[in-house]
Amino acid sequence: MTALTRLRLTHFRNHAMLDLKLDARPVCLWGSNGAGKTNILEAISQLGPGRGLRAAALPDMAQHEVNRGWTVSATLDDDRKIGVGLEQGETGNKRAIRLDGAPATATDLAELVRIVWLTPNMDGVFRGSASERRRFFDRQVMAHIPGHGSVSGRYEKAMRERNALLERGRVDPAWADAIERRMAEAGAIIATNRAMVLKSLQAAIDARPEGYFPKGDLTLDGEAERAAAEGASLFDIMDLIAEALAKGRYRDQGAGRTLSGPHRTDLSVIHRPTNAPAANASTGQQKALLIGLILASARALSDDGDGPSPLILLDEAAAHLDRDRRAALFDELISLGGQAWLTGTEEFLFEAFGDRAQRVEITSDSA
């Protein structure tokens, strides 16, 4: 099990100084709007790979009107001490990472902490754009495969170079071949990662008990992801992507951008009880389905045996559930084993936990 037994924030968002001493039980943060509950979840999300819960730039997370860096430090239940922060220097801002007092890398953190989260901003993912669903799914992939983010970064960098080449009007074939090969190499890994995680996530969904949070059937519509799911090798997927890019140069030149590849993949979700696309489900059905997906992702992480159980961050998830659904959610969170962090405006929202969770009131005085 992975749990935070101490969390300290310094000059992070509205928290000049916050020091929480905890045990391994779920943590229920309650208090009025604007007290900084979500900011605490965002701080925890900085302990994992990627840009965190809000995908904010490093300077944007600093306390307002305080011209200095910020830090988030935590003690794990095995007494390992980890920390991240904004380090300001003459060459600019950078993310500083420490493990047991020594400099460390994001990879080092990923071996100790894995995080999944659900926020109100994600409620519209099924009715939103393909890019929103892709980002949602890639966050799940990154929780399972921390290196997915850096590979995606390589792909996007190469794609920007290709787009710049297309915009010039005359494309040098040798130059385009080299750039497209780099895109294909990274794209093949991205597609393979996605296919692997989708298989694991679908298995976890299928294994979940029937109940208040319906099951979904997931598919990825990208050609490279389909090939990966069918067992194609990395080299075959690379060739598939590279060939599609080469064939599409004339079309892409007219559009001024790359119109094929893993960056165009969409996630399709079917609401199993009605066998209808999730986009056509009611708002309540979509919310319940989304919670079920996050629980399944956490379950898959807990069961894979290759890493720590996840921290589960649920921002205002209990507020829109009736009493029975809240109780069902809390029971499942307890069964997952990883430490859950939940927020809400009222303490009574968490009463179904009983003494199985700890409650912390967050007030303006806490910040």
pLDDT tens figures, 148-203: 999 999 999 999 999 999 988 778 899 999 999 999 999 999 999 999 999 999 99
Contact 311, 339 (CB under 8 A): yes
Contact 28, 365 (CB under 8 A): no
Q: How far apart are CA 203 and CA 88, in angstroms?
A: 44
Question: Which residues in the chain come in under a pLDDT of 50?
Answer: none
Q: What is the pLDDT of residue 50?
A: 83
Q: What is the pLDDT of residue 325?
A: 94
Which tokens sit at 244?
Answer: 């599609």
Which tokens sit at 99?
Answer: 């493990």
Q: What is the pLDDT of residue 25?
A: 96
Contact 40, 348 (CB under 8 A): no
Q: How far apart are CA 287 and CA 291, in angstroms?
A: 6
pLDDT tens figures, 71-124: 999 999 889 999 999 987 766 788 999 999 999 988 888 888 999 999 999 999
Q: What is the pLDDT of residue 51?
A: 86
C-beta atoms surrounding 177 within 10 Å: 12
Contact 260, 247 (CB under 8 A): no
Q: What is the pLDDT of residue 367?
A: 56
Q: What is the pLDDT of residue 291?
A: 95
Q: How far apart are CA 215 and CA 157, in angstroms?
A: 36
Supply the pTM of this predicted model: 0.92
Which is nearest to 330 in space by CA: 304, 306, 309, 359?
A: 359
Q: What is the pLDDT of residue 92?
A: 73
Between strands 311-314 and 4-12, the pairing is unpaired
Q: How far apart are CA 321 and CA 74, in angstroms?
A: 31
What distance separates the 2 farthest-apart alpha carbons in the chain?
68
Q: Which domains does the chain have, with CATH numbers?
A: 1-114+310-367 (3.40.50.300)
